[in-house]
Amino acid sequence: MSLNALRVLLVDDEADFLETLEKRLKKRNVGVSCAASGQEALAQLEKGPVDVVVLDVKMPGMDGLQALREIKRRYPLIEVIMLSGHANVEVAIEGMELGAFDYLMKPMDIDQLLYKLQDAHKKKTIHEEKIKNMAG
Amino acid sequence: MGRLKACIQSLFSKKEEEVPANVEELRNAFRARYHHFKLLLSANNKALEIMQEMEAALTGTEPFGMTFVRSRVTMVAANVWQITQHLNELAPGKYEGLYERFKEIQQKINPFIRAGQEGPGGGALVIPLTAVNKEMADQVGSKMASLGELRNRLHVRVPDGFVVTADAYRRFIAHNELQAEIDRRIQATPVEHPQRLYHLSADLQQLIIRSHIPPDLESAVTWAYQDMKAAEGEDVKVAMRSSALGEDVAGTSFAGQYRSELNVSGENIFQAYKEIVASKYSLPAMTYRLNRGLRDEDVAMCVGCVKMVEAVSGGVAYSRNPVNIRDDAVYINSAWGLPKSVVDGTVSPDLFVISREGPRRMIKTEIPIKTHKLISFPKEGVRRLPLKGDERTAPSLQDPQAMELAEMAVRLEAYYGLPQDIEWAIDKTGAMVLLQCRPLRQKEPPHSSKSPPVGGLPSDAVVYQGGFSVSPGVAAGKVFMVKKDMDALKFPQGAILVAEQALPRWATTLNRAAAVIVEQGSMAGHLANVAREFDVPALFGVEGATHRLEADQLITVDADANTIYRGRVEALTAAREPPKPLMRESPVYEALSRVARYITPLHLLDPDAVGFRPENCKTFHDITRYCHEKAVQEMFQFGKAHKFPERSSKQLFCDVPMQWLVLNLDDGFKEEVRGKYVTLENIVSIPMLALWEGIVATPWEGPPPVDGKGFLSVMFEATTNRALNTGVRTPYANRNYFMISKHYVSLNSRFGFHFSTVEAMVSERAAENYINLQFKGGAADFDRRLKRVYFISAILGRYGFRVDIRSDTLIARLENREQDFMEARLRLLGYLIIHTRQLDMVMANDARVDYYRQKVIKDIEGVFNVAPSSGTSTQEAKTSYPSQPVGSISDKGASLRGC
């Protein structure tokens, strides 16, 4: 599984954060697209395939948990990693009950985030193969 | 050789195996399982790491804030949840009960970490001072509550005015939606970097100052100010003073860390208000809260707004000596102009000491030359004015005034039942006005041995004698000159602060400073207050200190004998007690220690015990331990249960079949193995190969010659210890078996009487690398077993492992190091597992023990080329909190245990 195959969508209302993270992930050969809100993220997902969504928990409008619920409903195979500026056990557990792959906290070490992305991607790949096997 | 190979190959292929038809499906299922297992291990490791961090923080010697508590608890919870989830993926339906346990524990944790304990709210935004008394501290802050009490119940003269309340503060923060943003920025900043903290502080203050005053607050303040104008005249100026809630917890004296604005005109009241509120996040205030374990959310900033007093002179009165609890005289510091110059340490004030017993009399006066005074500008603000003529040398307070003030101090102490710290001023009419009154903390008196050590020091050892002590004690360290803010940020741990003035902002260094020396300042100043609170010896009034001393010069400060020595005077510093852990008993510490009760203790110690069940999981650590154990079992069982030969265990073949079983979890073999045996060449597991190299590196000397007692002790244990006799305790207890993948190994080994488990993850992902070792048992009596455990612990400590010993079980951990480092440590472990097998027999004989220690170290450093790790694991771990020192023994009944 090469890194090039990994496609990530970053969702955060903080423009600076988004821009920096996008740059740093691209340098590490990750395919990155960005969205500034939950609604925008859903629109992006309509347009092209994504493996892992990195989702800010606290955003104006549709908040992270709502967006997560919607993403999982429409695209159950996409893995979602919650990335939050606010430590909150209840939100973390609720997120994972809704199917989030992990709940991480800012500031996040870029390499560790990359490992998490790879692990989430691998989970998705295995899941997809399983479905393929069952189908055929 | 070739023939042997061919022979082995035929041996392998000859063996017939039942191959199920749906092998592709099984292979997939196994891959999925292995991925869950890997994620479980990674979450398990992370959870243990954070628990260890929490335990280290609970030693209370290093500061941490609520952000630390919340983020660590959240991280632990998220990881333990994942562990539970992955185990349930490995064995669907089998461990559902764990979720319930998890939720129960989470419910218990929640109340301690819930953010923002908001006050009742909806109360008055502004309260006139005429309506304030000391019972209202939760609305107006303790400073203004006590001013109201002085005015309304003691009928002491204080300036009139009003208070902008705690509810007003909450209203202001909520109106601008500031709290979430502030919390987010704090979480994003590593607090242990003074420079980052400095920027954070500046950003947060800007954020607050740019915010808007809500309309209802604006009109309430405007009305209150109109009332003041009506009473005091059209151009009345005000002094605006911070009066924060949460200042008076557990012996903390916030000592004016927050801002006060003097001589503010009506048009600038709101700007000043915002600046004072912003000072909640000033660098000294943030550092102070961090070091004292105070919670940000407990601090609501009330602001007192009182008529500006045009002081002719002013200062601070202490109803007792703050640096000597046995001295009951009243101490008064006084300067020309506004009392602020005394508090902020920019002048050397006059000192009056007045007896308390019998008729008051002046015991001592010191009237130094005063160079400046602080006065109000006519329109707004204050300025420093150089003094001329008589004012330089004349006392700034007349004796009768000093007596009146002493009388007042004694009276206020009697009223409050505690020594008091009083800020006062003499106005233009000659009347005394009190501006502030708060409890005073007194220090223990200096140690009895005041004189230089016995035998004396050469006279040239004394650099300086004089000045006055504002915080007792002795300390040695290197001189560090502080002139500007940047110097304070760079202040090194354990250095001695040397500065010209006792400025309040130097207080940010006091968690790192060994001692303080300044040229100017007073015992009533803020820096002196905080030095006392942090137990930092401080000598003030040291003439020419910044010239007399050189940067980096090693000196000893004796603040009990007012002397500075060259070099380190061991005789003086030796007897000093280590500083008390300041975090203990603080609200933040309390929060962590309460949540930790549901997180770090481990009750499920023995996987073979009947009680090793989900319903007995009382903590997150229990769940972690339980899941790990079960996950390993589930992985091990899978190959067997499904008649899946390529995923059932193989016997290691190394020239001959060996007593080692190997289970390939994923990509641990170069190619698939169908038969019964696997050769070493076919193994590509990085951590297993490293362990194996250690196991076979040097031949074992065989059991050490046993002394008579040792042998008897073995015999005795073998007949009494049931665990030693039962051959099979778990399905795989009596053999040595490896579970491997390319980057993972788990080795359970049992040699005769002792068991060890090694688990390691080693790859290029240094942040995920770890080694866990568990070592226990042995045949000799408890004492000898314990000695062996200590023996091994000392060796592991030498090479960078963190070791924890409970009973005769040793648990060692190492993490986050590069691949080659991890491999070297695994070789070392392999060696130790083999070569310490029966060392418990000889542990009673010190000479033998020493022989073995030498031999082990020689082998490790010679054969494996491993160098001892410098320092402790603290430097190796990525975390910012010190772990237990290497080889230290946890005295807690159940602390951390590697799985």
pLDDT tens by residue, B241-280: 999 886 655 456 665 578 889 999 999 999 999 999 999 9
Q: Does B109 contact A115 at a Cβ distance shorter than 8 Å?
A: no
Identify the residue whose tokens are 């940047």.
Answer: B486
Of A14, A6, A53, give the one whose Cα is nearest residue A30.
Answer: A6
Q: What is the mean pLDDT of residues B65-75?
A: 91
Q: What tokens does B752 get?
A: 């005769």
**Residue A133 backbone phi and psi in degrees, to 5:** -60, -45
Q: ipTM of this model?
A: 0.91
Q: Does B110 contact A130 at a Cβ distance shorter than 8 Å?
A: no
Q: How far is A29 from chain B (nearest CA, A)?
A: 17
Question: What residue segments make up the domains of chain A, in order of their start?
Answer: 3-135
Instruction: Tell me the H-state helices in B334-467.
Output: 340-343, 390-393, 399-416
Among A89, A107, A126, beta carbon nearest to B77:
A89
Among B24, B85, B109, beta carbon nearest to A89:
B109
Scan residues 758-787 of B and list those with Cβ closer than 8 Å to A.
765, 767-768
Q: Which CATH topology does A3-135 take?
A: Rossmann fold (3.40.50)
Predicted pLDDT of residue B67: 87
**A133: chain B residues, CB-CB within 8 Å:** 24-25, 28
**B106: chain A residues, CB-CB within 8 Å:** 89-90, 93
Structural domains of chain B in order of their starting residue, each with its CATH number: 2-109+598-630 (no CATH), 121-308 (3.30.1490.20), 309-437 (3.30.470.20), 459-573 (3.50.30.10), 650-824 (no CATH)
Predicted pLDDT of residue B780: 66
Which chain A residue's Cα is nearest to B70? A87
Say if B33 is an interface residue toward chain A (CB within 8 Å).
no
Among A86, A89, A103, beta carbon nearest to B184:
A86
Does B778 score more than 90 pLDDT? no
- Higher pLDDT among residues B294 and B407, named by residue: B407
Q: What is the mean pLDDT of residues B710-719?
A: 48
Among A85, A112, A126, beta carbon nearest to B184:
A85
**A60: chain B residues, CB-CB within 8 Å:** none
- B47, B80 contact by CB (below 8 A): yes
Chain A with chain B: Cβ pairs closer than 8 A: 83
- Higher pLDDT among residues B114 and B423, named by residue: B423
Q: Are strands B538-540 and B515-518 parallel, antiparallel or unpaired?
A: parallel
Does B719 score more than 90 pLDDT? no
**B187: chain A residues, CB-CB within 8 Å:** 85-87, 105-107
**pLDDT, tens digit (0-9, with 9 covering 90-100), for B147-175:** 999 999 999 999 999 999 999 999 999 99
**B78: chain A residues, CB-CB within 8 Å:** 89, 92-93, 96, 102-103
Among B28, B71, B78, beta carbon nearest to A130:
B28
Q: Does A92 contact B28 at a Cβ distance shorter than 8 Å?
A: no
Does B194 score more than 90 pLDDT? no
Q: Does B187 contact A105 at a Cβ distance shorter than 8 Å?
A: yes
Q: How far is A73 from chain B (nearest CA, A)?
A: 20
Q: Does A92 contact B106 at a Cβ distance shorter than 8 Å?
A: no
Which chain A residue's Cα is nearest to B109? A89
Does B364 score more than 50 pLDDT? yes
Sign of dihedral through CA atoms B201, B203, B207, B210?
positive
Q: How far is A134 from chain B (nearest CA, A)?
A: 9
**A112: chain B residues, CB-CB within 8 Å:** 767
User: Residue B66 and residue B415: Cα distance in Å, rounded?
Assistant: 36
Does B899 score more than 80 pLDDT? no
Instruction: Return mean pLDDT, chain B.
Output: 82
Q: What confidence category does residue B576 fall into, taking pLDDT thresholds of 50, 70 and 90?
A: low
Q: What confidence category does residue A24 fall into, taking pLDDT thresholds of 50, 70 and 90?
A: very high
Q: What confidence category does residue B779 fall into, taking pLDDT thresholds of 50, 70 and 90?
A: low
Predicted pLDDT of residue B721: 40
Say how many C-beta atoms besides its own lie within 10 A of residue B831's C-beta. 25
User: Residue B840 and residue A20: Cα distance in Å, rounded?
Assistant: 57
Non-local CB neighbours of B17 within 8 Å, separated by 6+ positions: B645, B674, B675
Q: How far is CA B415 from CA B419, B439, B757, in A?
A: 10, 12, 66
- Higher pLDDT among residues B175 and B883, named by residue: B175
Q: Does A109 contact B767 at a Cβ distance shorter than 8 Å?
A: yes
Q: Are strands B650-654 and B677-679 parallel, antiparallel or unpaired?
A: parallel
Say if B310 is an interface residue toward chain A (CB within 8 Å).
no
Q: How far is B33 from chain A (nearest CA, A)?
A: 10
**B184: chain A residues, CB-CB within 8 Å:** 58, 85-86, 106
Of B525, B559, B584, B537, give the one whose Cα is nearest residue B253.
Answer: B525
Among B78, B189, B768, beta carbon nearest to A103:
B78
Q: What is the mean pLDDT of residues B739-752?
A: 84
Q: Does A93 contact B81 at a Cβ distance shorter than 8 Å?
A: yes
Q: Does B187 contact A87 at a Cβ distance shorter than 8 Å?
A: yes
The two counts, helices (H) then strands (E), for chain A are 5, 5
Query: What are the b/e assignments for A38-76, b being 16+ CB within 10 Å?
Result: bebbbebbeeeebbbbbbbbbbeebbbbebbbbbbeebe
Q: Does A115 contact B110 at a Cβ distance shorter than 8 Å?
A: no
**pLDDT, tens digit (0-9, with 9 covering 90-100), for B211-231:** 999 999 999 999 999 999 999
**A111: chain B residues, CB-CB within 8 Å:** 765, 767
Identify the residue whose tokens are 């992006």.
Answer: A44
Q: How far is CA B851 from CA A43, B429, B799, B831, B854, in A?
A: 72, 87, 19, 17, 5
Q: Does A106 contact B187 at a Cβ distance shorter than 8 Å?
A: yes
Q: What is the mean pLDDT of residues B602-621?
A: 87
Q: What confidence category does residue B115 fall into, taking pLDDT thresholds of 50, 70 and 90?
A: low
Got the DSSP string for B140-201?
HHHHHHHHHHHHHTS------EEEE-HHHHHHHHHHTTHHHHHHHHHHTS-TT-HHHHHHHH
Among A90, A92, A133, beta carbon nearest to B25:
A133
Q: How far is A42 from chain B (nearest CA, A)?
A: 25
Q: How far is B71 from chain A (nearest CA, A)?
A: 5
Which chain B residue's Cα is nearest to A91? B74
- B205, B279 contact by CB (below 8 A): yes
Among B29, B31, B188, beta carbon nearest to A107:
B188
Say how many C-beta atoms besides its own lie within 10 A of residue B736's C-beta. 19
Q: What is the mean pLDDT of residues B785-808?
A: 84
Which chain B residue's Cα is nearest to A84? B184
Which chain B residue's Cα is nearest to A105? B71
Please tell me whether residue B39 adopts helix, strand or coil conformation.
helix
**A122: chain B residues, CB-CB within 8 Å:** 35
Scan residues 178-217 of B and list those with Cβ closer than 8 Å to A.
180, 183-184, 187-190
Does B76 score more than 60 pLDDT? yes
Q: Does A133 contact B24 at a Cβ distance shorter than 8 Å?
A: yes
Q: Does A87 contact B74 at a Cβ distance shorter than 8 Å?
A: yes
Q: What confidence category does residue B873 fall into, taking pLDDT thresholds of 50, 70 and 90?
A: very low
**A89: chain B residues, CB-CB within 8 Å:** 73-74, 77-78, 106, 109-110, 113
> For the ranges B10-19, B250-259, B509-518, B687-696, which has the lowest average pLDDT?
B10-19
pTM (two decimals): 0.73
Q: What is the mean pLDDT of residues B683-694?
A: 94
Does B64 score more than 70 pLDDT? yes
Instruction: Give percent above pLDDT 70 in chain B.
Output: 82
Which chain A residue's Cα is nearest to B69? A87
Q: How far is B27 from chain A (nearest CA, A)?
A: 10
User: Residue B35 and residue B44: Cα distance in Å, rounded?
Assistant: 14
Predicted pLDDT of residue B887: 30
Q: How far is B186 from chain A (nearest CA, A)?
A: 9
> Which of A16, A20, A89, A133 should we substitute to test contact with B (largest number of B Cβ atoms within 10 Å)?
A89
